[in-house]
Each structure stands twice: as C-alpha cells, then as structure tokens.
Amino acid sequence: MKFTCKTSDLFQALQFVIRAVSTQHALPILQNILLETEENRCKLSATNLELSIISTFPVATKAHGGITVPAKALLNVVQYGSEEEMLFEVLGEGKLRCSSSRTKILLCGESVENYPKISILKEREEIFFEPMSLLEGLHLTTFSAAQSSLRPVLSGVYIKSTEKGLIIAATDSYRLSEYILPISTEGQQVECIIPVKVLEELKGIVSSVQKAGKSASKGNLSCEVSMALNSQQIQFTVGSTHVLSRLINGIFPNYQQIIPSEKKTKALVSVQKLITTIKRMHYFAKEVNNTLTFVFSSGSIHISTPQTQLGNEESTLSSETEGQENKIALSSSYCLDFLSHVEAEEIEICVHDSMHPAVFKIPGKEHMLHLVMPLRIQEE
C-alpha cells in the first residue's frame, strides 16, 4: 500500500473512526485502526465488536494494500503534522512509513488478516433524514435512556415506523422522551432498539460534518443521513462515513399506556426562570430524594422543597395556567436533565393529578413530549 493525501482529509476521517476504537485490552488489535486503499480512496475502519465506523477520503493511490496501526499513534502523527500532504507506505510486514518533506515516521502495526471483518450492509432499503431534525430528535430523547445495562432494552433507544413518521423513544422507567421524526417510511416496517452509545456517536459525527460544511470555503460538504437495517444490525450513513452497530434483542416497554389520556391542568412557564429556580432549590431537594412539590393555581406555579437538615425553600413563578388547581411532586434532577436540553423560551407542563406522570411539551413541537413519573408528596 502506498498513497498520498491531504493531512486535513485524513484527520477528519480519523476523528470519526476513532470513536469506535476499543479501550479494553482483552483484544489489543481492537486498539488499532485499519487502513485500506481502494481506487483513489483510503478506507479507515475501527470496531469494538459492538460499534463499527468506516470512513473514506480521497487519496492519490500508488499501490493498493492495507495495514492496521495503533489509533493513538496515527492520530498523533496527523494531529501534530505541519505539512498539508503526507505520503503513507507499507514496508514489509506490519510497518507503516509516514513521511513529508520534513518528517519521516515509522509506525509498527499488524497484518490486515488479524483484524475483525467489517462489512457495510448491502442490498438494503434506506430511510433518509434531514440532519437538523435528526439531531434535534436525538438531542431530546437519548438522555432518557438507562445508564445501567441491567435491563438491556432500557439502555437503548426504541425506533418504530408509523403513519406519522419515525418514532424515537427512550426511558429508564422513571422518565420518558418521545420524538416523532416527520419523514416518510411508507412501505418499510421498522421496529428495533439501538444502543444509546451508538446514537451519541452518530450525533457527534453529524454535528461535525454539519459544522465542516458550513465552514467550507467552496459549498457545503455532503451531510445526507440515511439508515438501513436487517434483523441483527443497523447502519447509519453520513456522507462518506458509515456507523454500524448490533441491535439490542428484546421487547421495549409499551409506554403508551402510561401517558395520561387527559390533563386537568396546563401551565405555560418560562424555561429560564424555571430552570434557575429548580437549580437553586436542588440544593435542598437532593437531601430528600430530589423531591420538589409543584402547586398549580391561577396565574402561578408554587414550588417548594421539604424541610431538611440544610433548610428548605419555596418559590412562586408566574405562569399561564388553564384548568383546575393541582399538585404533584417531581424529581428536581429529572426536571433539570430535561430542561437543560430545551432550547425554547417557554415550556408547557400538563398534569392530571399527583398519581399520574407530568407531561412536558415544547410549544409548537407537537411531535415531542417528555414524561416524568411522580414522587410521593412529602407532607408538611
């Protein structure tokens, strides 16, 4: 293998692929990146056996071949290189020479045969996304997935095709986020659970390509995003980068049955004022299971903490409230987690009673909701 390329092209592809490099030492070769040339492109691949990322970039190929080298070593060469172009050449077994007009570096790697086989999905039907809608949908849902893998289905994000679009949902059984991407899935039956870590990496790649496209001096870089899957694997394609993952086996909870079918109270309140108040009150609430009590009345929301050894606090926020007076206890931590992902000026809170979940909605975005399960109200 022998090729020359722009250092910037290699660096961008490397930044995407290195997200899938394993940090475990059980299989040392998984800390490597696979380089292969095909026609006038170089393909970089990395996998941790659950997540795989493949990215290609243009090169001037002088000889075909491949090699695997330590990811950190290659990143060090490229990140701190001062030349616009570099020459890469395999010398014998497991040696990669990286050179420019001023520098010559030799990296010790391993043969391609020792690296796990990574293949993109072929003969597939694809669903296409508008990048900004996809980013918003993931931003407003993935944080609700369980951090623990004790219940694997809850550590993933559920997607399902419907007449309204593609549902994205995540829950850890204490809170739930749902977002419906308004895209056409006609003729395609999609229902699966994707590891949340995979979607977090996808968010990073889409965001990076978007930013690179906006800053490019000549036009925008391609950021078309598509999804394809089979019974065991899913693949997202972002321009010339492929993100592949195994799916999570299992049945996602039927969460629709816990969403209140009606609301007795609806309040519209400033996001900034609400998040500032809850952040301040969290100091006391965290002493008692993060409990905050919300009392809804005409024109206001009264929020209070239980009495703790540190003290207590109560505060009243002005709001546009419809319906009857109501009361519910919610987790300050979960409220803050959701509100920190909201970019709107106001948030709508819908409450049935103290025994049913509170539903948060962003005005103008009827395709999303966030649900927080109630806590036991602390009696005075």
pLDDT digits (tens, 9 = 90+) for 349-369: 999 999 999 999 999 999 999
pLDDT digits (tens, 9 = 90+) for 174-213: 999 999 998 887 778 899 999 999 999 999 999 998 887 6
Q: What is the pLDDT of residue 39?
A: 86
On whether the CB atoms of residues 181 and 133 are closer than 8 A, the answer is yes
Q: What is the pLDDT of residue 25?
A: 72
* Average pLDDT taken over every residue of the chain: 92
On whether the CB atoms of residues 296 and 267 are closer than 8 A, the answer is yes
Q: Which of 333, 272, 267, 334 is nearest to 302 (CA)?
A: 267
Q: Which of 9, 7, 16 is nearest to 241 (CA)?
A: 16
Q: Which residues contact 146 (CB under 8 A, 6 or more apart)?
A: 154, 155, 171, 172, 173
Q: Residue 245: exposed, middle, or buried by beta-carbon count in 10 A (0-12, 13-18, 19+)?
A: buried
Q: What is the pLDDT of residue 183?
A: 86
Q: What is the pLDDT of residue 247?
A: 96
Q: Across the beta sheet with 320-323, what order do the strands follow?
A: 191-195, 156-161, 166-171, 175-181, 368-372, 358-361, 346-351, 265-270, 320-323
Entry pTM: 0.91
Q: What is the mean pLDDT of residues 333-346?
A: 97
8-state DSSP, 234: E
**What domains, with CATH codes, occur in the chain?**
2-114 (3.10.150.10), 127-246 (3.10.150.10), 259-372 (3.10.150.10)
